[in-house]
A and B are shown apart, each in its own frame.
Chain A
Amino acid sequence: MGFLVTSLIFAVIGVITCFCTLICCNRGASTNLFHLTLIITATICCWMMWAIVYLAQMKPLIVPILNDSE
């Protein structure tokens, strides 16, 4: 799975969650906007975290060197 595919999965999950909250707890425009903001912020945070770790491992400059004891 490449970077873009997983990013897309994150986006899809975010969108689905947004729709779920819109359908399940629809409490007026301003509250919905609040919920969406929370979900979008959370999705972006999670995606960033994943993306950073993924990108850092794509073209490694340092490779794992096993310990002698093992």
Chain B
Amino acid sequence: MGDTRGGCCPSMDLFRSEPMQLVQLIIPIESAHRTISYLGDLGLLQFKDLNADKSPFQRTYAAQIKRCGEMARKLNFFKEQILRAGLSSKSSVSQVDINIDDLEVKLGELEAELVEINANSEKLQRSYNELLEYKLVLQKAGEFFIAAQSSAVEQQREFESRQTGGDSIEVPLLLEQESLVDQSKPVNLGFLSGLVPREKSMAFERILFRATRGNVFLKQTAVEDPVADPISGEKVEKNVFIVFYSGERAKNKILKICEAFGANRYPFTEDVGKQAQMIAEVSGKLSELKTTIDIGLLHRGNLLQTIGEHFENWNLLARKEKSIYHILNMLSLDVTKKCLVAEGWGPVFATKQIQDALQRAASDSNSQVGPIFQVLLTTEAPPTYFRTNKFSSAFQEIVDAYGVARYQEANPGVYTIVTFPFLFAVMFGDWGHGICLLLATLYFILREKKLSSQKLGDITEMAFGGRYVILMMSLFSIYTGLIYNEFFSVPFGLFGRSAYACRSPDCSDSTTVGLLKVGSTYPFGLDPVWHGTRSELPFLNSLKMKMSILLGVAQMNLGIIISYFNATFFRNSINIWFQFLPQMIFLNSLFGYLSLLIIIKWCTGSNADLYHVMIYMFLGPTEDLAENQLFPGQKNVQIVLLLLALVAVPWMLLPKPFLLKRQHEQRFQGQSYAPLPSGDDSLELDSHHDSHGHEEFEFSEIFVHQLIHTIEFVLGAVSNTASYLRLWALSLAHSELSSVFYDKVLVLSAGFNNIIILIVGIIVFIFATVGVLLLMETLSAFLHALRLHWVEFQNKFYEGDGYKFHPFSFALLDEDDD
């Protein structure tokens, strides 16, 4: 299809998508991997999946893909470990070439080492934590015992003193016995000590009490600092407890409860001397463990550091490898099992590059047979590929967001680069705000290199991606701001003196009748005198409304003209004569005429009512225009235009379906009398397939389609023109909002003659300007400009039913995976 170019001029960049061709590559199996790798470096071929019916496991290179997946898993594990260790995986400068097989072995070794180190350090950490808890128990419980002992000794002494002092008859005889029994009791008491999480300690105590029916004595002390739990490794607030019980059954119960509450028990002795000894022992062990753990951590850190240095390289290599095998899986194996057959779309201009890559791969891998490159003929629609640069890509994104262009269809992106920011600026006309936008986007553009490698937030990312769109928008809004003569809503007389002056020397009637135009028209933009006058709004409304219609009619005409370029390009004369021409006539005989009337009215200063003229052009075309006449012979012109518009409707509707039908019949007839195909089976199959495609001509369907299209256009001409009035509404809203912020905040606060109020006023003004005007208004004007392009402009010519070219390229790997 690439050679069916119409027109005389050289083709324009970006106007048509690149001519594509379906190519077939036959690659010897020994050089396949290298070939695909080189093609991936080139990144200009989109492979077709020739094994679409096979599941991923049935494919040739399933095992290799699995290996790559395993490597990716290991790399992910490393990444996680590196992140957890708080190291950054910066890519090393030295690009060491490493084989994928070596890499696999190396990754395996490293993983095993790391896992072992992790297991060891975990074990060590656990025993360290246990010892730490044990030490705590020893200390706290020891304190408790010492305190208890001292009080017990005191009691004993008291008891003894009482016994010795009161050796009288009053002393009950039983007491001695009781005390004897009392003294014998502690011998049977057992006790357990340990740590329980503080939040569970209340419940723990209660359950213990209930389970043993109160036959326990529990003593708890809070540990001040959170303790690392040996099992989970997390820091938990804990209490040291010690439980006294009597009897084996109670002990078993308590043990079970301890287990259920996650309370760690530690052995403890009553003997104070032994306690001290144990504390010393535990402390010694602790410091020993500490050094061991530190050495382990250092070793692990070093290991991770070295991994981190190579990580980016390895990761890239692994992902490249995986993508190569993924592509290899899409190729079909030749019958002889010695060759792989690849099919894919590539741009015509890249033919040479692709062939070069194939040759290089063949020679580099010492293959005896070179790969075969051939172009296939197909009826399938090729993918759409625009070669954009960093400037035009954002605009192309705007168009693609609506729909990817049909193959080689005229691309509205070319005009969007200018008209989109222009229509935005019509709604955002203020050169103060334009400069603010410009500064913001210049920041992005100047720091482009730095920012593009960073991860940005969602909104910043969006603004950064559209930085060139915003640049154009800001430049145009500075221009339209100068036209509207608004700098934060303040007018400046930059281009000469105002054309208006008072009628009389004392200016008495300037507030009633108004000023008089004395000089020549203000040369560039809006006369500054209008600002703040009582008639500003009526004047601006009339101006901006008419401007919207003029701009809209111009842009819609551009859209229809592009449909003409499309028709000539695809050699479709039916579309020229029965679509482009009547559409042009219809639109211009109604709205083109309206635009003309607007201009005539401005030039002549006539008082004619254009609404009246347009309405009565339909209601009573033969009636006399009277004072609404703008030029001689207007009535006849209007009748002719009305008739033309009326004729254009059936012109659009009827002939095209009939002509298409005839065209189809001719082609079909020609085919039925064609010479019988030769014996070649595939050819016959092909032609059969072809004719099958044409047999599905249904006249009613085509006619209904044409009917819908016609109705859409006729109604659309009215509604789309009306839709352009949003330019008026939004630009009015913008200027009114900014003048409100200026008058009611800045000027008002300056009127108080108070520095604090002024500062507050300035702050409020800045925030309102940035928040409402620069952010929200930008967004809304952007969206409305987007709609005007997507709907009002593109529906005149744009099909947008193509699909995008997705070449296999290593450069695009990052975007795919994240």
Please report A residues at the B interface, Cβ cutoff 8 Å.
Answer: 1-2, 6, 29-31, 33-34, 37-38, 41-42, 45-46, 48-50, 52-68, 70
Verify A53–B554 contact, CB threshold 8 A. Answer: no
Partner of A48 from B14, B514, B554 at Cβ < 8 Å: B554
Q: Which of chain B's residues has its CB closest to A60's CB?
A: B517
Answer whether residue B599 sits at the interface, using C-beta atoms and an 8 A cutoff.
Answer: yes
**Which residues of chain B from 1 to 36 have a CB within 8 Å of any chain A CB?**
9-15
Verify A66–B534 contact, CB threshold 8 A. Answer: yes
Q: B605: which A residues are within 8 A, CB to CB?
A: 58-61
Q: B10: which A residues are within 8 A, CB to CB?
A: 29-30, 33
CB distance from A51 to the nearest CB of B (A): 9
Verify A66–B479 contact, CB threshold 8 A. Answer: no
Between-chain CB contacts (< 8 Å), 5 pairs: A30-B10, A33-B9, A50-B483, A52-B543, A58-B603
Verify A30–B536 contact, CB threshold 8 A. Answer: no
CB distance from A61 to the nearest CB of B (A): 7
A48 to B479, alpha carbons, bound, how many Å?
Answer: 12
Known A-B contacts A41-B418, A58-B602; A49 and B483 likewise in contact (beta carbons under 8 Å): yes
Answer whether residue B535 sits at the interface, using C-beta atoms and an 8 A cutoff.
Answer: yes
Q: B264: which A residues are within 8 A, CB to CB?
A: none
CB distance from B200 to the nearest CB of A (A): 73
4 interchain residue pairs of minimum CB distance: A59-B605, A34-B13, A65-B514, A63-B514
Q: Which of chain A's residues has its CB closest to B10's CB?
A: A29
Known A-B contacts A29-B10, A63-B516; A49 and B533 likewise in contact (beta carbons under 8 Å): no
Verify B533–A53 contact, CB threshold 8 A. Answer: no
Which segment, of B94-102, B314-322, B431-439, B520-528, faces chain A?
B520-528
Q: Which of chain B's residues has its CB closest to A56's CB?
A: B543
Residue among A59, A64, A65, A67 facing the most chain B CB atoms (10 A cut-off) = A64
Q: How many residues of B contact A (CB 8 A)?
A: 59
A20 to B483, alpha carbons, bound, how many Å?
Answer: 25
Known A-B contacts A34-B13, A48-B554; A64 and B514 likewise in contact (beta carbons under 8 Å): yes
Which segment, of B106-114, B163-171, B440-448, B545-553, faces chain A?
B545-553
Answer whether residue B794 sits at the interface, using C-beta atoms and an 8 A cutoff.
Answer: no
A53 to B526, alpha carbons, bound, how many Å?
Answer: 7
Partner of B534 from A45, A50, A60, A65 at Cβ < 8 Å: A65
Please report B residues at the A interface, Cβ cutoff 8 Å.
Answer: 9-15, 414-415, 417-419, 422, 426, 476, 479-480, 483-484, 499-500, 510-517, 520-527, 529-530, 532-536, 538-539, 542-543, 546-547, 550-551, 554, 599, 602-605, 607
Partner of B512 from A6, A56, A65 at Cβ < 8 Å: A65
Partner of B511 from A31, A38, A66 at Cβ < 8 Å: A66
Verify A49–B480 contact, CB threshold 8 A. Answer: yes
Q: Which of chain A's residues has its CB closest to B547's CB?
A: A52
Q: B417: which A residues are within 8 A, CB to CB?
A: 38
CB distance from B789 to the nearest CB of A (A): 13
Verify B9–A56 contact, CB threshold 8 A. Answer: no
Known A-B contacts A6-B524, A61-B607, A63-B500; A34 and B514 likewise in contact (beta carbons under 8 Å): no
A6 to B476, alpha carbons, bound, how many Å?
Answer: 19
Verify B529–A37 contact, CB threshold 8 A. Answer: no
Partner of B547 from A53, A60, A65, A67 at Cβ < 8 Å: A53
Q: B513: which A residues are within 8 A, CB to CB?
A: 63, 65
CB distance from B521 to the nearest CB of A (A): 5
Partner of B533 from A2, A38, A65 at Cβ < 8 Å: A65
Q: Which of chain A's residues has its CB closest to B539's CB?
A: A62
A38 to B533, alpha carbons, bound, how many Å?
Answer: 38
CB distance from A14 to the nearest CB of B (A): 12
Q: A70: which B residues are within 8 A, CB to CB?
A: 511, 532
Q: B529: which A residues are within 8 A, CB to CB?
A: 64
Verify B419–A45 contact, CB threshold 8 A. Answer: yes
If A53-B543, A56-B602 are given as contacts, then 13 extra A-B residue pairs at C-beta distance below 8 Å, sorted by A number, are: A33-B13, A41-B415, A46-B422, A50-B524, A53-B483, A55-B603, A57-B521, A57-B527, A58-B521, A63-B514, A64-B535, A65-B535, A66-B515
A63 to B754, alpha carbons, bound, how many Å?
Answer: 37
A34 to B11, alpha carbons, bound, how many Å?
Answer: 9
A67 to B530, alpha carbons, bound, how many Å?
Answer: 11
Q: B551: which A residues are within 8 A, CB to CB?
A: 48-49, 52
Q: Which of chain B's residues has its CB closest to A5's CB?
A: B523
Verify B422–A45 contact, CB threshold 8 A. Answer: yes
CB distance from B299 to the nearest CB of A (A): 57
Q: B530: which A residues are within 8 A, CB to CB?
A: 64
Verify B11–A30 contact, CB threshold 8 A. Answer: yes
Verify A34–B414 contact, CB threshold 8 A. Answer: yes
Verify A52–B526 contact, CB threshold 8 A. Answer: no
Verify B538–A57 contact, CB threshold 8 A. Answer: no
Known A-B contacts A38-B418, A57-B527, A67-B533; A62 and B11 likewise in contact (beta carbons under 8 Å): no
CB distance from B419 to the nearest CB of A (A): 7
Q: Which of chain B's residues has its CB closest to A44's CB?
A: B554
Q: Which of chain B's residues has its CB closest to A2's CB?
A: B520
